Chains A and B, each alone.
Chain A
Amino acid sequence: MRVAYFPGCSLQGSAREFDESLRAVAARIGLELVEIPDWNCCGASSGHAVDHLLSLALPGRILALAERTGLEDLLVPCSACYNRLVTTRQDLIDDRKVKAEVCELIEMDLKLSVRVRNIIEVLKEVMEAGNFQGIQTPFTHKVACYYGCLLVRPHKVVKFDRAEEPQTMDEMMQAIGAEPIDWAFKVECCGAGMTLARTELVAKLCARILDDAEGREAEAVITACPMCHANLDMRRGDIEKAAGRKFDIPVMYITQAIGLALGIDPGRLGLDRHMVPVVFKSMQQQPGVSESPA
């Protein structure tokens, strides 16, 4: 399978290991990633907070560049970028006047033919095509699949999985041997872009998420969003301060979990870049060495 690839700003910076593990897994499962040349930032939450047209133009430029690759699918691993691209595409389909304005701003034409896909649905498609036969070490752990708020909303536009209690990530984790738990915070927001400006709020929200996951005996939180990962992992110190207790549970990207199951060397999956060591209570897995948390 060949897809256009839009990593987004975080995957180049603070979420490097998501990009690394994704590329490692993609190479193994026959998923060819064609990075869009010269892509720009999608604007994330700041764009639409400040100006409507700007919030459409920045993703609009990305869609136009993706179209030029000639590929049908555009893989967007970051949930925030995914949400911006899907909703922008729908807004431009629904309103031709706005579309014309955006095309004028970005100085490019837009056919809006490219399908914007998130990481979970692309991996699922590849799996169903039968390319996951290489499971060497089943990921036999209890996991809490954390989808985050932007992956499944707005449901009518994104049309992915169920709006409450989605199942696709859980099914994929099951396929690699894990035991996904039923828990209450699958789509509850982690605090998103408030990580700098409202750190204590993010800490409070993430504490609730980790408390529920750990309380239900999950051994790891699996996520598909770099923002969620950053808040749950990098901000672990702040979370523990806000909650008044320690949380040991590691947070992994879905591509890292799949990578481990496929037998890819942990070093190539960027597990040592996490703040919280990826260590499991059951010592069946020794994924890699990490420094101790802050």
Chain B
Amino acid sequence: MSRIGVFVCHCGENIGATVDCARVAEISSALPGVVHSVDYKYMCSDPGQNLIKDAVKDKHLTGVVVAACSPRMHEPTFRRACAEAGLNPFLCEMANVREHCSWVHEKGEPTTQKAADLVRVLVEKVKRNRPLRPIQVPVTKTALVLGGGIAGIQASLDIANAGQKVILVEKDPSIGGHMAQLSETFPTLDCSQCILTPRMVEVAQHPNITLLSYSELESLDGFIGNFKARIRKKARKVDEKLCTGCAVCTQKCPQKKIPSKFNADLGMRTAIFVPFPQAVPNKPVIDVENCRYFKTGKCAICQKLCPAKAIRYEQEDEIIEVDVGAVVAATGFDVVNTDFFPEYGYGKYPDVINGLQFERLASASGPTLGEIRRPSDNKIPETVVFLACAGSRDHAKGIDYCSKICCMYTAKHAMLYRHKVHSGKAYVFYMDIRAGGKMYEEFVRRAIEEDGARYVRGRVSRIYERDGKLIVKGADTLLGGEPVEIQADLVVLATAAVASPGAEELAQKLHISYDSYKFFSEAHPKLRPVETNTAGIFLAGACQAPKDIPESVAQASGAASKVCGLFSQDQLSREPLIAAVNRTAPPQFSTCTGCFLCESVCPYRAIEREEIKARDGKVLKTVARVNPGLCQGCGTCVAVCRVKAIDLDGFSNNQLYAEVRALA
């Protein structure tokens, strides 16, 4: 016998001004199965909750319907109240008479009737609710951080310092990411490597962090708290345990003319190489595609000369399997190359470079040891033109968004150039100046007012080369579109920030959403910036969207705190409103026919196959089984199941039919 209690909330004026709550309570009291029906000003308040608790106890209620706001607001509040009164919390339902009624209609009789209808529907539903227990899932307290840039490093350190274990996977031979390539960082002009390398060393030495460099994620299976990752440790062709980092091999390697990725193709490296002097780990790697030994079988000088006998040409890739409880994606970004621009020469002019290449020129450890020199003839440029918004905010080129960091680093580049070449002229062609961070606007003003960077508002239509100079054809829109032509020695394009290569494949391996630009999607753009829609997988840094270092670090710490929150429990409690495939008595065992249509439509890969065996081990039937740890209760499987063998607790077929019939 049902004994349902109905509680109608006025929500101050939100509901009360449009809906006649007292009447709704009165109408509801006459519903079959309802033994208690009241209205009150603020149900979520303490006295309001006490109304529920008292009624549960005094009237021995078997179910509660609270007609109020959206369950997204207060369902946990009222469920807790019921639990405290001794009623299973899943026997409490909310009828949304605010967002679905009072907030979208005018005051009047039809609106009150609609509210009463909504209550009636929920009463019919709650009569069919089952008491449920939250599901407990164990948690492996190891985090997997993908990407060893500043975001990955920060997240790893935060998690490790909280006492949890971290596995940091980085695909390049060294950690550090793009931040290691920068010369000085805005707005403080700190030397980038000086502030980064202590953290890199800390990561390498931290007892809780296992650093897998020159490695990539092969596959990820499982669910929150219980992931299984397979990581490919690529073969360096060097035994890391024996190598002392003496660098004799890199000095003696005869293959010296390979464009260095770390130097953004402005400098060369050898076939056996360490990407930069401060690399962590400071162990070389052999680029087998360009190594003479691997191409021709001759050479092997590194092996002959290595004092530690650490070279291992036969070394193979190794697959490592680890169990982790959470994953942090911190795979960073990339910048577009100069060949992206037909109007600026299709990348054929060596003296038209992008921002990252300028960073390498300005870096003390770069190909020109920190002197700004033209890549073509190594001369010092007397006129440098910087183009902001090169590729960004450009619908025609397919990149509609703003890359966020370029206004700031362009001002920085102009400043660095002027600091290094006092007689040099720096022009910046811009559309807007986006300097919203702390001390950012002051930084840009300093570039203009103190360091003499000449800012011209307008985009550049074309760049071509004539007699060793680059002719830059721009315009000054503040002067009415007046054409401005500058003969430059060097042109720096602040090119668009885009997703790093392989981002789409990685997102698919992790089963996280990504947008049309291949940036990873956060769970909610405002309120959940470090989570994804996949439970247990978090985001940090520029892989989510272009951002600067302070934001990457902040987001990384945010992701770390989510991971630590997850790891703070030994078991995870999950809402039991999930699907289940029915089980019946033998010989049927289940009405499921094993078609597995549910498996193919489940967005969370929560459906597994279960073999039902006879006592002798013979497989009698293979049916579907819902993994309670992964299921998010979306109901897609219930909708497609042709025999209705799968049902959703809390939104069962019976309940939904009852709700619809209640309206008829």
Contact = CB atoms under 8 A, between A and B. Distances in A.
Given A184-B464, A184-B465, A184-B466, A165 B346 contact: yes
A163 interface: yes
Interface string A154-189: 000000001111000000000000000000100000
A163 B342 contact: yes
Contact of A164 (B342, B465, B466, B471): B342
Interface in B463-515: 464-467, 471
A165 B342 contact: yes
Interface string B33-47: 000000000000000
A215 B471 CA distance: 15
Contacts of A184: 464-466, 471
Main secondary structure of the interface of A (DSSP, over half): loop
A162 B471 CA distance: 21
A214 B346 CA distance: 23
A215 B343 contact: no
Contacts of B466: 184, 212, 215
16 contacts: A162-B342, A163-B342, A164-B342, A164-B343, A164-B346, A164-B462, A165-B342, A165-B345, A165-B346, A184-B464, A184-B465, A184-B466, A184-B471, A212-B466, A215-B466, A215-B467
A212 B464 CA distance: 11
Q: Chain B CB within 10 Å — which of A164, A212, A215 has the most?
A: A164
Nearest to B465: A184
Q: Which 4 A-B pairs have the closest CB atoms?
A: A164-B342, A184-B464, A164-B343, A163-B342
Nearest to A162: B342
A165 B462 CA distance: 11
A163 to B, nearest CB: 6
Contacts of A212: 466
Given A164-B346, A164-B462, A184-B471, 5 more contacts: A164-B342, A164-B343, A165-B345, A215-B466, A215-B467
Contacts of B343: 164
B348 to A, nearest CB: 8
A184 B462 CA distance: 10
Nearest to B341: A164
Interface residues of B, number: 10
Contacts, number: 16
Interface of A: 162-165, 184, 212, 215
Nearest to A163: B342
Nearest to B346: A165
Interface in B434-486: 462, 464-467, 471
Contacts of B345: 165
A158 to B, nearest CB: 15
Nearest to A186: B464
Contacts of A163: 342
A239 B576 CA distance: 84
A215 B467 CA distance: 9
Interface in B205-254: none
A171 to B, nearest CB: 16
Contacts of B465: 184
A185 to B, nearest CB: 9
Interface in B317-376: 342-343, 345-346
A61 to B, nearest CB: 33
A162 B467 CA distance: 24
A184 B343 CA distance: 11
B394 to A, nearest CB: 14
A184 B348 CA distance: 13
Nearest to A211: B466
Contacts of A164: 342-343, 346, 462
Contacts of B471: 184
Contacts of B346: 164-165
B155 to A, nearest CB: 43
A53 to B, nearest CB: 29
Interface string B274-291: 000000000000000000
Nearest to A216: B466
Contacts of B342: 162-165
Contacts of A165: 342, 345-346
Nearest to B464: A184
Contacts of A162: 342
A147 to B, nearest CB: 14
Nearest to B467: A215
B10 to A, nearest CB: 57
Contacts of B467: 215
A162 B343 CA distance: 11
B464 to A, nearest CB: 4
Interface string B85-112: 0000000000000000000000000000
A180 to B, nearest CB: 15
A189 to B, nearest CB: 13
Contacts of A215: 466-467
A215 B465 CA distance: 12
A187 to B, nearest CB: 10
A285 to B, nearest CB: 28
A168 to B, nearest CB: 15
Q: Chain B CB within 10 Å — which of A162, A184, A215 has the most?
A: A184
A165 B466 CA distance: 15
